[in-house]
Amino acid sequence: MEGIFLGKGETAVFLPFSRANRHGLIAGATGTGKTITLQLLAEGFSRAGVPVVVTDVKGDLAGMAFPGADKAPFIKRAQELGLTSYGPQAFPVIFWDALGEQGHPLRATVSDVGPLLLSRLLELSEAQEGALNVAFRWADEQGLLLLDFKDLQALLQHLTTHRDAMAGMSVPSTSLGAIQRRLVVLQQQGVERFLGEPMLDVHDLMLTAPDGRGAVNILSCDKLFQYPRLYATVLLWLLAELYENLPEVGDLPKPKLVLFFDEAHVIFEDAPRVLLEKIEQVVRLVRSKGVGVYFVTQNPLDVPDSISAQLGHRVQHALRAFTPREQKAVKTAAETFRPNPRLDTAAVITQLGIGEALVSVLQEDGTPSPVERVKIAPPVSRVGAISPEERAKVRAASPLAGKYEASLDRESAYEVLTKPQETPVWGGWSWGGGPPRPSQPSRRGDTLAEALLKSAARSVGSSLGRQIVRGILGSLLRGR
């Protein structure tokens, strides 16, 4: 079978490459081995030439860039599983960081993030979300590019001070003011480093090394995760971008890209129903783009049922069962597996040791395998954090070095809306004779219209020619 060797119970368990785009779940209590399992899977995909994206919340996945040490527990596990060729190995790692500190800056434009995700990020009320949607619509009608953080600030400030500009659009000034105050809070979190250009080209996540191994794209999130809403926004935007930009390919012998989202519960916490519906749609449809998504979380109940039902591969590490909610999680997790008559799944979940898991994968014929109690194979790359010097060395060797480091500041909404209004000067005698007329200020509406027309002309044919209101999930919101 072409697949990743996960470990061995009564039999060896492999995750088939041909079914890897059917998504998966890695769950378990803290300290039970979820991150090791994630690392093992990422290594397996990379070795097969499949690029991966992993979110590194604790900083301990960065070690994949270096060979693993000869740790006694890993050597012992390899011997137990009969891995005679087990040995240290490094992987082709590329570091990214939405805050631009520990990797290539990962950026998105304001228009591509869109009002739906921004509303959740800003924790807006329903009325304030409506106001933000109207502001995006107005900017779109005027041909204004919303690229970076200051474009959004300038747009809201302009609409607050020029109420007549929004003819026919009723938006309370209190709502606009509240949004502006929330932007100040976001600015302190560093969101202006995420919103801007050059925006990520998703194809840069799909590189392969000269030896044919897939790139391991590590999104450094130890600081980003301090702001859970911003963390969730970055992940959902990334998922939407992949769906929007990759072609339909159907089922392939192996996926084109695999994503691992650690601490996945923050994606779904307090998410409005409309957003959950869109996430469900994209998770269901993105597999036809050759993309697999694997959610990593402590409690399997963290993932909504509508999305959990789409996760074909399951690795369940130990769960604690002290509280009613934890007992419910154990029961739910047990019920999601295909039964094994030789295994009391619900009882075993609480008895698993570190590095053990209950595993079920989609088989070649598309049916889930009976659940197995499995000793997970050890990774071959380093487990744990790296030094700043080691990180700098990896970054300097990146094939993308220099492409995203410098920010780009094109003329956009901020420049148009804050440009000083020119006063036209009368250039000669009038047809009727007489002295030159004194300089007079032009009508504000005419000057603004000219500026907006110029902006619209600039936007035609640009890479941002998509409707600004597209936002997250692209064509899905347009009902395609």
- pTM for the model stands at 0.87
The reported pLDDT for the residue numbered 424 is 52
Cα–Cα dist 198/143, whole Å = 20
The reported pLDDT for the residue numbered 369 is 94
Cα–Cα dist 459/468, whole Å = 11
The reported pLDDT for the residue numbered 471 is 55
The reported pLDDT for the residue numbered 477 is 42
The reported pLDDT for the residue numbered 290 is 97
Phi, psi at residue 465, to the nearest 5°? -70, -10
Superfamily covering domain 3-107+197-386: P-loop containing nucleotide triphosphate hydrolases (3.40.50.300)
The reported pLDDT for the residue numbered 456 is 40
The reported pLDDT for the residue numbered 322 is 84
Cα–Cα dist 241/145, whole Å = 18
Residues of the chain with pLDDT below 50 are: 426-470, 472, 474-475, 477-480
Residue 377 CA to its chain's centroid (Å): 28
3-state secondary structure string across 292-308: EEEEEECCHHHCCHHHH
The reported pLDDT for the residue numbered 455 is 41
Starting from the edge strand earliest in sequence, which strands make up the sheet with 104-105, in order?
Answer: 12-16, 3-8, 372-376, 356-360, 313-316, 24-27, 291-297, 257-261, 52-56, 216-220, 93-97, 104-105
How confident is the model over 274-332, as pLDDT tens digits?
A: 899 999 999 999 999 999 999 999 999 999 999 999 999 999 999 988 888 888 889 98
Cα–Cα dist 262/58, whole Å = 10
User: Omega of the bond prior to 51 within 30 degrees of 0, cis?
Assistant: no
The reported pLDDT for the residue numbered 284 is 95
Q: Distances in Å between the alpha carbon of 361 and those of 22, 138, 312, 348, 372?
A: 10, 49, 6, 18, 10
The reported pLDDT for the residue numbered 264 is 96
Asked if 352 and 32 touch (Cβ cutoff 8 Å), the reply is: yes
